[in-house]
């Protein structure tokens, strides 16, 4: 197996990963070698699909906005589970990031005087969502990717699927990756690692997220003994296109769109009378599902899916074309509905994982005892810092990815510069050899195998969708845990149909599903244990928030092959929990 | 349900052949990507193709569908007007496997035009304020900034086929994207790269790049603008 040495290795090429690479390169001023490993082409990561915008307090003198107000909105949006020191860091650095992205070339939508325009978003009391039409994520991604190309010492390994994160004695050593093009495994020994591999919407049947958002890295982290934090908090975006799940941005409501039921009623007046369609996502998603369950929804004739309608007709052609042209294009193309003439059929779909790899405020990866796994950071959706707590506000994720990309890139660069050249010692070789054996002998050349990778994936998605959705109940969660455990066993004999080396997508898919099956257990275990309702986690058998017992973060980790739970306190600086009303 | 016949160009280790799959589409709204994934998951897991966002923004699933370079996720049955569909890998690229092409050279050419903000780096990375732009300044380059790196324009270009050294429509279009950005200071440097026999002047304004672009970038138009700029005294 080929061995490579780097100062910094970054896993993932979304906004967090590319931003980290850029910052590490700038901090190192040409003195560091940096590798980006990504299972797709680096410019294609799921961040491209972000539409609505990026939150930041840009012109407080003109708008009356303040960092404290942004922080308070975020903490309240999180149902008080966010760590407030992290939230304060987010809102402080977000404006710097928006301006840096401008200087790197993002075509922000502008005011006539040249300032950057901002739009209203759910749960934000003041318009502070910065945007580039409704392709904000795409423009940030292409700008970051382009600007990474200025640095010769950043090497991009497109289509390199990480199969293992090597950690020894509480210290990061490197990763092993499968080069999809050749089918060869490569070992990367590095002083520092940044995990920025994104989320895992594909744990569920209906999601706004890309096919590549599978989240096997969560499973791989568990295998290395790393804890996952707050995985039970899964965000459902209220408005996904029916039946595909394609995202219809919150910007549609930010620009003034209405949600209506079959009777034409703006039903949000019964759920969030003040904020209406701009209440946080957890509240609107529950409202939509309630409308459908109580018979006030509509049914998509083709898929049988229940849905409500997003009405944009009153916005007029100019606003649709200038502010949300992509939404119009998507609705016309995929459901044959022109939002100028007809309302769009929408329903909630999985959109974001609030939980993730347990880190401290600065993105350092922690073990279950709270000790830093030296040399390892995590940033973006894959991490749980936590700034989103139990529910993320729309447009806070792009800020999070940029801010923690920058912080971890800078920290990893400084850390690397202080260390001597990494050695490839016997124990690293052993780890790599064991991984080679697992992939080649254990999977690629293994005889037999009965059940299809895709059937296992479908069954996992069905269990998650039907039992671990927007409304949850203890008995359903218990059932899901049992079913997933059986599926986990069955999946040990997943069948590999493709035995070739070049671009063996079947093998990649198998490795994804294999990692996901461990990751979903953390979601279900956390949800089962948490006997309260908070943010996106709603238990019909425990429908109230319970601060006395549950104002704490869940940690799920593997010990001796089984999943265990532990809890750590929420860090509160300025804002005591209060009733959450909109 | 709509029965569909998919003829797919398979290629493993240099050996090419056509393979026929029969598949049921849920409706006329099904995309070619939906159908290929159905084949992959239910009939033939050895079939390889790139795909990710399924909403025409990540640029993964470029392929030649019924003789025309298109994104599989953006192409519905109803757009094709037939249930006999042929799918082959993008032209003008080496094939890795089946519908997966090697885009390494395409990405290298993109990099050659320095597709990033050319200004003093301290000013970019350490400057505190934004570079202001009026809405009309944004309009000058915005259409060119919609490039999703899908490679369809390069696949459709007869000049790329004739002259493999040609930088191609994508790279030149991206040179224009930065040259027309009022924040950028690298126009001259980029023009030196673009203004050559394997650059702008390899383009004969055939326009197939603009025709197949799934995001309306119009590389052909961008190249003509740069040619005019190059000829300016």
Q: 3-class DSSP state for residue A196?
A: coil
Q: Which residues of A touch B26 (CB under 8 A)?
A: 302-303
**Burial of residue A370, with CB atoms counted within 10 A of its CB: 0-12 exposed, 13-18 middle, 19 or more buried:** exposed
Average pLDDT over residues A27-49: 98
- Tens digits of per-residue pLDDT, A482-534? 999 999 999 999 999 999 999 999 999 999 999 999 999 999 999 999 999 99
Q: How many CB atoms lie within 10 A of CB A381?
A: 31
Average pLDDT over residues A118-146: 96
Check residue A24 and give its pLDDT. Answer: 98
Parallel/antiparallel/unpaired status of strands A160-168 and A171-179: antiparallel
Check residue B13 and give its pLDDT. Answer: 80
Q: 3-class DSSP state for residue A162?
A: strand
Q: For residues A141 and A437, give the distance between their C-alpha atoms in angstroms, rounded to a whole number.
A: 36
Check residue B168 and give its pLDDT. Answer: 98
Q: Which residues of B touch A146 (CB under 8 A)?
A: 115-116, 174
Check residue A178 and give its pLDDT. Answer: 98
- Tens digits of per-residue pLDDT, A330-354? 999 999 999 999 999 999 999 999 9
- Establish whether A128 is a catalytic residue: no
Check residue A264 and give its pLDDT. Answer: 97
Q: Whole-number mean pLDDT of chain A?
A: 97
Q: Which residues of B touch A41 (CB under 8 A)?
A: 50, 59-60, 103, 107, 149
Q: Quick one: three-class SS letters along A4-63?
A: EEEEEEEECCCHHHHHHHHHHHHHHCCCCCEEEECCCCHHHCHHHHCCCCEECCCCHHHH
Distance (Å) from the C-alpha of residue B128 to the closest C-alpha of chain A? Answer: 7
Structure tokens at A62: 């003109």
Under the banding of pLDDT at 50, 70 and 90, the label for residue A147 is very high
Bridge partners, A161 (sequence order): A178
Angle (CA) B112 B114 B116, round 5° = 145
**Burial of residue A567, with CB atoms counted within 10 A of its CB: 0-12 exposed, 13-18 middle, 19 or more buried:** middle
Instruction: Examine residue A243 and say whether the peptide bond preceding it is cis (omega within 30 degrees of 0).
Output: yes
Q: For residues A268 and A439, give the distance between their C-alpha atoms in angstroms, rounded to a whole number.
A: 51
Bridge partners, A451 (sequence order): A494
For each of the domains in chain B, give its residue range(s) and CATH number, in order of start.
2-101 (3.10.20.30), 104-230 (1.10.1060.10)
User: Quick check: A566 pLDDT over 90?
Assistant: yes
Distance (Å) from the C-alpha of residue B72 to the closest C-alpha of chain A? Answer: 13
Burial annotation A59-95 (CB, 10 A radius, 16+ → b, else e): eeeeeebebebbbbbbbbbbbbbbbbbbbbbbbebbb
- Establish whether A253 is a catalytic residue: yes
Under the banding of pLDDT at 50, 70 and 90, the label for residue A319 is very high
Identify the residue with better confidence: A80 or A423: A80
Q: Among candidates A190, A166, A194, which has minimal Cα distance to A416? A: A190
Angstrom CA distances, A565 to A382, A524, B24, stand at: 19, 11, 45
Name the one residue in this structure whose structure tokens are 């757009």.
B79
Average pLDDT over residues A223-251: 97
Sheet of strand B84-88, all strands in order from the earlier edge strand to the far edge:
B15-25, B2-12, B84-88, B62-65, B68-71
Under the banding of pLDDT at 50, 70 and 90, the label for residue A226 is very high
Residue of A103, A116, A502 lying closest to B117 (CB–CB)? A103
Angstrom CA distances, B10 to A182, A501, B71, stand at: 17, 15, 18
Q: For residues A274 and A285, give the distance between their C-alpha atoms in angstroms, rounded to a whole number.
A: 17
Bridge partners, A298 (sequence order): A307
Bridge partners, A356 (sequence order): A229
Site from B43, B145, B151, B214 to mutate, A interface, most A CB atoms within 10 angstroms:
B145
Check residue A297 and give its pLDDT. Answer: 98
Note the pTM of the prediction, 2 decimals.
0.98
Q: For residues B117 and B119, give the distance between their C-alpha atoms in angstroms, rounded to a whole number.
A: 6
Q: Which residues of A touch B28 (CB under 8 A)?
A: none
- Tens digits of per-residue pLDDT, A276-297? 999 999 999 999 999 999 999 9
User: Quick check: A446 pLDDT over 90?
Assistant: no
Check residue A448 and give its pLDDT. Answer: 82
Q: How many CB atoms lie within 10 A of CB A466?
A: 14
Question: Closest residue of A to B178, CA-based?
Answer: A105
The ipTM is 0.98
Residue of A102, A112, A246 lying closest to B135 (CB–CB)? A112
- Tens digits of per-residue pLDDT, A528-545? 999 999 999 999 999 999
Which residue numbers in chain B have pLDDT < 50? none
Check residue B233 and give its pLDDT. Answer: 76
CA-CA-CA-CA torsion sign (A519, A491, B26, A504): positive
DSSP letters, chain B, are: -EEEEEEEEEEETTEEEEEEEEEEESSTT-BHHHHHHHHHHHT-TT-------SSSSS---EEEETTEEEEGGG-BHHHHT-SEEEEEPPTTS-EEETTEE--HHHHHHHHHT--S--S-HHHHHH--SPPP--HHHHHHHHGGGG-----HHHHH-HHHHH-TT--HHHHHHHHHHHHT-TT---HHHHHHHHSSTTTGGG-----HHHHH-TT---HHHHHHHHHHHHH--
| Binding-face residues of A in 371-430 toward B, CB within 8 A | none
Under the banding of pLDDT at 50, 70 and 90, the label for residue A393 is very high
Contact A344, A320 (CB under 8 A): no
């Amino acid at each position: 197996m080929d061995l490579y040495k780097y100062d910094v290795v970054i896993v993932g090429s979304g906004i967090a990963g590319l931003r980290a690479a850029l910052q590490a390169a700038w901090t190192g001023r040409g003195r560091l070698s940096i590798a980006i490993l990504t299972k797709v082409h680096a410019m294609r990561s799921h961040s491209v699909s972000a539409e609505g915008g990026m939150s930041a307090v840009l012109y407080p003198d003109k708008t009356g906005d303040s960092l404290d107000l942004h922080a308070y909105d975020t903490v309240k949006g999180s149902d008080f589970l966010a760590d407030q020191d992290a939230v304060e860091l987010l809102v402080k650095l977000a404006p710097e990031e928006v301006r840096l992205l401008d200087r790197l070339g993002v075509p922000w939508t502008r005011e006539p005087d040249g300032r950057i325009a901002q739009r209203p978003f759910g749960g934000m009391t003041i318009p502070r969502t910065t945007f580039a039409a409704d392709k904000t994520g795409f423009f940030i991604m292409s700008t970051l990717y382009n600007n990474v190309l200025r640095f010769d010492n950043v090497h991009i390994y497109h289509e390199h699927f990480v199969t293992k994160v090597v950690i020894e004695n509480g210290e990061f050593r490197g990763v092993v990756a499968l080069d999809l093009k050749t089918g060869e495994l490569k070992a990367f020994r590095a002083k520092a690692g940044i995990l920025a591999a994104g989320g895992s919407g594909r744990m569920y049947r209906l999601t706004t997220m890309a096919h590549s958002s599978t989240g096997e890295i969560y499973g791989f982290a568990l295998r290395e003994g790393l804890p996952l934090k707050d995985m039970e908090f899964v965000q459902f975006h209220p408005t996904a296109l029916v039946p595909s799940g394609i995202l219809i941005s919150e910007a549609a409501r930010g620009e003034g769109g209405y949600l209506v039921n079959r009777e034409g009623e703006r039903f949000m007046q019964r759920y969030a009378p003040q904020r209406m369609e701009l209440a946080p996502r957890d509240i609107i998603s529950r409202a939509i599902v309630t409308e459908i369950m109580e018979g006030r929804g509509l049914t998509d004739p083709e898929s049988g899916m229940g849905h409500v309608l997003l009405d944009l007709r009153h916005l007029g052609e100019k606003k649709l074309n200038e502010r949300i042209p992509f939404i119009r294009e998507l609705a016309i193309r995929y459901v044959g509905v022109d939002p100028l003439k007809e309302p769009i059929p929408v329903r909630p779909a999985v959109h974001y994982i609030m939980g993730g790899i347990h880190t401290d405020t600065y993105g350092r990866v922690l073990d279950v005892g709270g000790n830093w796994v030296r040399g390892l950071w995590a940033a973006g959706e894959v991490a749980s810092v936590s700034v989103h707590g139990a529910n993320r506000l729309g447009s806070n994720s792009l800020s999070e990815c940029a801010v923690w990309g920058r912080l971890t890139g800078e920290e990893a660069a400084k850390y690397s510069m202080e260390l001597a050249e990494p050695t490839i010692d016997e124990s690293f070789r052993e780890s790599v050899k064991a991984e080679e054996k697992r992939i080649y002998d254990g999977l690629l050349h293994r005889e037999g195998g009965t059940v299809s990778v895709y059937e296992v994936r479908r069954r996992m998605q069905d269990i998650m969708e039907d039992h671990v959705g927007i409304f949850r109940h203890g008995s359903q969660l218990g059932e899901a845990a049992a079913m997933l455990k059986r599926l986990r066993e069955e999946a040990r004999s997943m069948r590999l149909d493709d035995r070739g080396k070049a671009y063996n997508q079947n093998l990649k898919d198998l490795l994804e599903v294999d990692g996901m099956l461990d990751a979903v257990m953390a979601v279900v275990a956390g949800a089962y244990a948490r006997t309260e309702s908070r943010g996106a986690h709603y238990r019909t058998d425990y429908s109230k928030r319970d601060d006395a017992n549950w104002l704490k973060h869940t940690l799920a980790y593997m010990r001796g092959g089984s999943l265990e739970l532990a809890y750590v306190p929420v860090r509160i600086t300025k804002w005591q929990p209060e009733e959450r009303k909109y | 349900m709509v029965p569909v016949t998919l003829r797919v160009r398979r290629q493993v280790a240099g050996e090419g052949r056509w393979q026929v799959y029969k598949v049921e589409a849920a409706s006329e709204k099904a995309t070619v990507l939906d159908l290929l994934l159905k084949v992959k998951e239910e009939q033939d897991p050895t079939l390889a193709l790139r795909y990710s966002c399924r909403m025409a923004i990540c640029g993964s699933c470029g392929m030649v569908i019924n003789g025309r370079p298109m994104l599989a996720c953006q192409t519905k049955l109803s757009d094709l007007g037939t249930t006999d569909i042929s799918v082959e890998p993008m032209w003008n690229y080496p094939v890795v496997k089946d519908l997966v092409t090697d885009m390494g050279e395409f990405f290298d050419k993109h990099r050659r035009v320095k597709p990033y903000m050319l200004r003093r780096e301290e000013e970019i990375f350490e400057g505190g304020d934004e570079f202001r732009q009026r809405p009309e300044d944004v309009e000058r380059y915005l259409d060119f900034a919609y490039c999703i790196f899908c490679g369809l324009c390069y696949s459709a270009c007869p000049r790329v086929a004739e002259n493999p050294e040609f930088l191609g429509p994508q790279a030149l279009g991206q040179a224009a994207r930065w040259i027309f950005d009022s924040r950028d200071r690298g126009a001259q440097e980029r023009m030196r790269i673009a203004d050559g026999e394997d650059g702008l002047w390899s383009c004969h304004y055939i326009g197939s790049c603009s025709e197949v672009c799934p995001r309306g970038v119009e590389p052909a138009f961008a190249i003509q603008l740069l040619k005019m700029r190059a000829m300016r005294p």
